[in-house]
Amino acid sequence: MVIQKVGVIGAGQMGNGIAHVCALNGFQVLLSDIDEARVKAALDVIEGNLRRQVSRGHIKDEDLERTLRNITPTVGLDAFGEVDFAIEAASEDEAVKKSIFRALCPKLKPDALIASNTSSISITRLASTTDRPERFMGMHFMNPVPVMQLVELIRGIATGEDTFQTVREMTVKLGKTPANAEDFPAFIVNRILLPMINEAVYTLYEGVGTVEAIDTAMRLGANHPMGPLQLADFIGLDVCLSVMQVLYDGLADSKYRPCPLLVKYVEAGWLGRKVKRGFYDYRGEVPVPTR
């Protein structure tokens, strides 16, 4: 199957990044959300990120203009009858994703493919909600999508070989490197990364070090580009907690138990950069540790 038109469901941080790279690499993109204001905000973010790429010499002015022309904003799913490939990039909530797929499938043409950008949820379970599990798979982009090179490709138990090969070829056309992952909780990257972040939160919770000390230790002692608590704020503490809960529930191992302090921050609504407070307070000119 040849993919020419891509529909992206969800215009948040991941969705607008996926729309950005698809449109930049020549695909026609339908970018959808439930609210017109969200789609407009996403287009503003995409344009800003494209201008940043131009200023750094990564793309030309004409690439920016062409990319924006390739993106069509829409509200809801009614226009998805024309897409060859639908990519769901909604919040990391299984019930939300399943409800989207139930609404989406009647809109799609029979041979259209579907992917979920889930970072942790079972592809087999999500696919079972659809009318085409053989045409469904996981396509987990890394954040920020325009910058990060990896895409995890995950087959559910019913995913067809043609579907996998088509999506893999598209991943390469996007200039990304595919990595095949089995359909186990959190796949590869988050299976390794999120327990490290959770352990950093435990280290803070138990008073072994402050936010600043922990992040400095990992930046300078392990040569990480950013500390684990700073990274957690960037990812979103709600997303971190969701992935840890998927790991804990799916693997039934106490080593994946979410740290109570992570739970407390999420309950407080301190979700990281997107709300300007998490392990750091971002409301001033310089981020300040909150513990």
- 42's CB contacts (< 8 A; 6+ apart) are 11, 12, 15, 16, 19, 31, 33, 73
**What tokens does 196 get?**
């490290």
Torsion of CA 59, 65, 67, 69, to 10 degrees: -170
Give dist(CA 249, CA 285) in Å, integer: 40
Question: Between the CA atoms of 202, 208, 211 and 213, what dihedral angle is there, to the nearest 10 degrees?
Answer: -140
- Angle (CA) 285 286 287, round 5°: 125
* Catalytic machinery residues: 119, 140, 152, 190
Q: Which of 90, 106, 108 is nearest to 98 (CA)?
A: 90
Nearest Cα to Cα of residue 8 among 172, 128, 139, 129? 139
